[in-house]
Amino acid sequence: MTDPSEGINDEKLLARIRSTPWIAELLVLFDFDIARVADGPVEEVRLETGEPLEMVAGDGTGGAFMLVGSGPTRPVVYVGSEGEGGLIATNFADALALVVGLSNIHDATAMPIGADGGAALRAWLAKTDDELREYWPTLDEDRVRAREVLGLREADGPLLEALHAAAADERYRPISEYGPYESMLR
How confident is the model over 149-184, as pLDDT tens digits? 999 999 988 999 999 999 999 999 999 999 999 999
Is the confidence at residue 20, as pLDDT, over 50?
yes
Has residue 125 been placed in a domain? yes
Helix 139-150 to helix 21-29 angle, to the nearest 10 degrees?
A: 140
Q: Does residue 97 lie within any of the structural domains?
A: yes
Cβ-based neighbour number of residue 17 at 10 Å: 21
- Whether 185 is covered by a domain: the verdict is no
- Give 112: exposed, middle or buried? Use CB within 10 Å, 0-12, 13-18, 19+: middle
- Give the structural domain span for 158: 10-176
- For residue 161, give Cα distances in angstroms to 130, 143, 164, 165: 21, 20, 5, 6
Q: Residue 81: inside a domain, yes or no? A: yes
14 three-class SS: helix
Structural domain includes residue 101? yes
- What is the number of domains present in the chain? 1
Residue 89 and residue 147 in contact, taking contact as beta carbons nearer than 8 Å: no
What's 62's DSSP letter? Answer: S
Greater confidence, 136 or 1? 136
Is the pLDDT at 5 greater than 80? The verdict is: no
Q: Answer whether residue 186 shows pLDDT above 80.
A: no
Whether residue 183 is contained in a domain is answered as: no
What's the confidence (pLDDT) of residue 148? 95
Residue 68 lies in a domain: yes
Q: Is residue 19 part of a domain?
A: yes
